[in-house]
Amino acid sequence: MLKLTPGQHIHLIGIGGAGLSAIARILLQRGFSVSGSDLRPSGVTAALQDEGARIHHGHHAEFVDGAELVLMSSAVAAEHVEARAARSKGIAIVKRNAFMGPLLEGYRTIAVAGTHGKTTTTSMIVHILQQAGQDPSYIVGGTMGNTGKNAGIGTGQSFVIEADEYDNMFHGLRPKIAVVTNVEHDHPDYFLTAEDQLRAFAKFAELVPESGALVACSDESGALDLMNTRKERKLSALSYAIDDAAADWRATELAFSENETRARIHRNGVFLGSLVLRLPGAHNVANALAATIVADLEGVGFEESAAALASFKGAERRFEIRGIRDDVIIVDDYAHHPTEIRVNIDAARARYPRHRIWVIWQPHTFSRVREFYSDFLSAFDAADQVLITPIYAAREEPIPGISSPVLVESMADHPSARFAPDFEDAVACLRRDIAGPTVVLICSAGDANRIADLYLESDDR
């Protein structure tokens, strides 16, 4: 079994990514020697370097020299030059699903899984527990607005972690408490079918011990199935919902304004009080419900959780307002699945009913576009204007017949869907055609968030 000992030199291939950068930060804080490589410099790699990591830009065989263990991102191919070099030198190579168990050994693990909402829900749990004085350790898939970090070591016994399903990373966890927000098919390059993904989540839920608890959203069929399976075994499982009146915890009477979202919270039919969130959307009320249940299991009462959530600032690239200029609100969101795009448009409509809604969409991976093609075509129906940039390939090669211009042609029924061949063209379109009051929602799991900077920094309107 893999053993981790402070002082070891661990090299991370793909250290600038969301998953590995958080792990690197934990390793540094625990006294490991950390090196890592990534294709190009970024704010993330610069911050890690400031914290003590040795950062290499590009990828070369000699970067693994001196390492005792190599941790490889799920996006890195097995024949990567550094992986080959490590094997030739007899250095052990692991992926996250083999690494996380040893990393979290000795902690009470709280793991948040789901196709959508896990970054925000994880961040909310961390924030509540911090405000309650429990000082958990944590790994989140995005930078928290309240801490300015995506990971940290605390003095408490709990470790709150975003449980990524890609490459079955979450199978390496042993959660005392597991949250499942939903189980909708995604990552078709890894989970070829929805059934494959559901089986992976079922295995994750089975990792929760008899003495632990599963928290699941009963408004969503996949999560509901996991909860019912656990209840059939007479094991602890708690449901939360907005629509399901039979849920253990429920939010009702949701109300939206430009500055806040409100809801009334009930447990087993008993009114507990109201939640006030800075974040928009019914989906974030559901995320807050899940976080409140976890906090309750950790001994934090509802009133204390509600007070903490009122000061929760969200996470980077999760409906993050990047700036406002001439009554044009620029919002950056990681949405890259049809469901995520729809709920973000709905959230924008609810929060800003006077505003027109522009969406700039950077499709993420060819396989995802192909798998959910028809769903993507209808995902923008509630938007006034849509700009589609070239597909962000990530780890994939192009698929014939799958391209952004073809997507635009297929959206002929939309009143305004256009192709922007590059970010500069998208910015030029905004400068030329936009007028307030408008919300510009940038939906991208790639690098299209740069459009926000280009638009807000320019004086040439």
Catalytic residue among 82, 115, 143, 162: 162
State which amino acid sits at residue 237. A
pLDDT of the residue at 407? 96
Question: Is the per-residue pLDDT at 18 higher than 50?
Answer: yes
Model pLDDT, residue 75: 81
The pLDDT value given to residue 40: 86
Would you say 367 and 373 are in contact if contact means Cβ atoms under 8 Å apart? Answer: no
- pLDDT (average), residues 325-335: 95
Omega cis (within 30) before 400:
no
Instruction: Answer yes or no: are the C-beta atoms of 371 and 147 closer than 8 Å.
Output: no
More confident position, 461 or 169: 169
Burial (CB < 10 A; 0-12, 13-18, 19+), residue 401, is exposed
Q: Tens digit of pLDDT for each residue in 311-327?
A: 999 999 999 999 999 99
Rounded-to-integer distance, Cα 25 and Cα 141, Å = 13
| Per annotation, catalytic residue among 115, 119, 261, 365 | 119
- Residue 118 falls in the annotated catalytic set: yes
Instruction: Give residue-wise pLDDT tens across range 59-75.
Output: 999 999 999 999 998 88
Largest CA distance in the chain: 64
For residue 119, indicate whether it is catalytic.
yes
* pLDDT tier at 76, thresholds 50, 70, 90: confident
Q: How many CB atoms lie within 10 A of CB 457?
A: 9
- Average confidence score pLDDT of the chain: 95
Is the pLDDT confidence value at 459 over 60?
A: no
Spatial separation of the C-alpha atoms in residues 96 and 103, rounded to whole Å: 10
Can 95 be counted among the known catalytic residues? no
Angle between helices 221-232 and 194-206 (to 10 degrees): 40
Taking the alpha carbons at both ends of the chain, their separation in whole angstroms is 60
pLDDT exceeds 50 at position 461:
no
In the predicted model, is pLDDT for residue 460 greater than 60?
no
Residue 436 has pLDDT above 90, yes or no: no
Of residues 292, 309, 310, the one with CA closest to residue 301: 292
Q: What is the pLDDT of residue 404?
A: 97
pLDDT winner (highest mean) among 11-20, 130-139, 411-420: 130-139
Find the catalytic residue in 82, 109, 115, 118: 118
